[in-house]
């Protein structure tokens, strides 16, 4: 297949496949604004809307945009309060986004609770997928608010976690310090015949300096004093569940939910972006396209490590379709951009340097970028 030139014929087909611009726009909103800008400049262009995610926030929306059916779920938030969440279902496959039920965004204006926040909401979503008859469940775990090793998730699925007096332990990573006995015999029996895929963009182990508490605990409000407490509690949890699984890549994902998913639910870990690209059928959309537009909030060194932009750019490169990226802020040098195979990067901060205004006006700035992309690549 020959490379396509930047100058394209009328009725070009453009695939819009950005991730969420965290703190300002959802991936779906980014697509809408870019599409509006491109269509303003080139009404004849055929636009394929394909928002993506890397396994964290936005995975549910990506699946729904790809034709999955939304199934409402009343789930448990990170602080134990009920929240209105959902799963996405299609042809026996369920997509459960942990962030939508018990992620950091669900903490809202409440104070983060690093010792008490629970992953129970993730279990509520998995159970809802079982109730919907799903034979395969994609558990997307990025953006969690808890560091409880997935204990809350397993409790929602029927596990009994007891202290020395046979009483259920308190929720959260702090509650694991009370743990004396783990009874998995009461787990939902449907799990035994259900395939679980752990979608994650991190490969950290459960314990140690690269583990869940040390690396991600501070993002969830953990102080220097909290981290060793969480580490000790997670170690106790692992000893009682499956000490052989603590070093599995991804065991430390989502505060240790990765550990519970792999050790108890038999989950297989896959890079989140690969899972999402399969869910949305991006390869089919990119083949034969004339341009791919991807993006994320901040383009930086982390982008090169399996983030959405890298995944989308890789698909575009495989089909020899030119790709550009839109971002809020660019912190990636020219060599990094070249390694991704991107033709150009459009940063909203180049149009509006003031950070607060850039965030507030991200929609209109994205439309302007859409018009510029049309001028630069679709003339």
Q: How confident is residue 327, by pLDDT bands cut at 50, 70 and 90?
A: very high
Checking if the pLDDT of 110 tops 80, the result is no
Looking at residue 142, its pLDDT comes to 87
Evaluate whether 34 touches 16 at the Cβ level (below 8 Å): yes
At 108, the pLDDT band (50, 70, 90 cuts) reads low
Please classify residue 212 by burial: count the beta carbons closer than 10 Å to its beta carbon, then call 0-12 exposed, 13-18 middle and 19+ buried: buried
Q: Are 309 and 328 in contact (CB under 8 A)?
A: no
Q: Which domains are present in the chain?
A: 13-50+281-377 (3.40.50.10350), 59-273 (3.90.1510.10)
Which long-range contacts does 44-48 make (Cβ < 8 Å, 24+ apart)? 44/10, 44/11, 45/11, 45/12, 45/13, 45/14, 45/374, 45/378, 46/11, 46/12, 46/13, 46/14, 47/13, 47/14, 47/16, 48/13, 48/14, 48/15, 48/16, 48/285, 48/289
Look at the chain and count its residues: 379
Measured CA angle at 281 (ends 6, 122), to 5 deg = 125
Mean pLDDT of 57-86: 95
Q: In Å, how far from its chain's centre is CA 47?
A: 24
Contact 19, 31 (CB under 8 A): no
* Residue 304 reports pLDDT greater than 90: no
Buried b (16+ CB within 10 A) or exposed e, 170-207: bbbbbbbbbbeebeeeebbebbeebebbbbbbbbbbbb
DSSP state of 53: -
Q: What kind and span of H or E run contains 271?
A: strand 268-271
3-state secondary structure 159-178: CEEECCCCCECCCCHHHHHH
Q: Averaged over 306-323, what is the pLDDT?
A: 94
Average pLDDT over residues 186-196: 97
- What is the CB neighbour count within 10 angstroms for residue 371? 17
* The predicted structure's pLDDT at residue 306: 77
**In this structure, what token pair is assigned to residue 299?**
């383009």
Phi first, then psi, for residue 228 (nearest 5°) are -65, -30
To the nearest whole percent, how much of the chain has pLDDT over 70?
96
Tell me the residue ranges of DSSP E strands in 19-68: 46-49
Residue 4's pLDDT is 41
For the beta carbon of residue 7, count every other beta carbon within 10 angstroms: 8
Res. 6: pLDDT tops 50: no
Residue 254 DSSP class: G
């Amino acid at each position: 297949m020959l490379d396509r030139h930047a100058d394209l014929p009328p009725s070009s087909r453009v695939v819009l496949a950005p991730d969420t611009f965290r703190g300002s726009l959802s991936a779906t909103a980014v697509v809408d604004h870019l599409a509006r800008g491109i269509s303003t400049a080139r009404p004849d262009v055929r636009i394929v809307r394909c928002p993506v995610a890397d396994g964290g926030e936005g995975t549910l929306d990506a699946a729904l945009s790809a034709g999955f059916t939304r199934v409402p779920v009343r789930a448990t938030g990170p602080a134990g309060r009920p929240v209105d969440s959902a799963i996405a279902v299609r042809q026996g496959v369920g997509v459960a986004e942990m962030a939508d039920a018990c992620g950091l965004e669900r903490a809202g204006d409440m104070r983060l609770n690093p010792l008490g926040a629970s992953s129970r909401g993730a279990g509520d979503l998995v159970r809802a997928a079982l109730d919907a008859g799903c034979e395969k469940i994609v558990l997307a775990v990025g953006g969690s608010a808890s560091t409880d090793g997935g204990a809350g998730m397993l409790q929602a699925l029927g596990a009994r976690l007891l202290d020395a007096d046979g009483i259920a332990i308190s929720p959260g990573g702090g509650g694991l310090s009370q743990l004396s006995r783990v009874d998995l015999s009461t787990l939902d029996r449907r799990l035994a015949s259900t395939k679980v895929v752990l979608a994650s963009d991190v490969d950290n182990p459960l314990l140690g300096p690269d583990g869940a508490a040390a690396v991600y605990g501070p993002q969830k409000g953990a102080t220097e004093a909290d981290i060793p407490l969480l580490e000790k509690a997670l170690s106790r949890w692992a000893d009682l569940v499956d000490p052989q699984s603590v070093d599995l890549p991804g065991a430390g994902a989502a505060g240790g939910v990765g550990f519970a998913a792999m050790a108890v639910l038999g989950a297989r870990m896959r890079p989140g972006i690969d899972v999402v690209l399969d869910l949305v059928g991006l390869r089919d959309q990119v083949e034969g396209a004339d341009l791919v537009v991807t993006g994320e909030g901040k383009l930086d060194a982390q982008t090169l490590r399996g983030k959405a932009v890298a995944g989308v750019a890789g698909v575009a490169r495989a089909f020899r379709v030119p790709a550009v990226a839109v971002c809020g802020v660019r912190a990636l040098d020219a060599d990094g951009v070249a390694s991704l195979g991107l033709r150009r990067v459009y940063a909203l901060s180049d149009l509006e340097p003031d950070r607060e205004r850039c965030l507030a006006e991200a929609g209109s700035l994205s439309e302007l970028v859409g018009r510029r992309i049309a001028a630069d690549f679709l003339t």
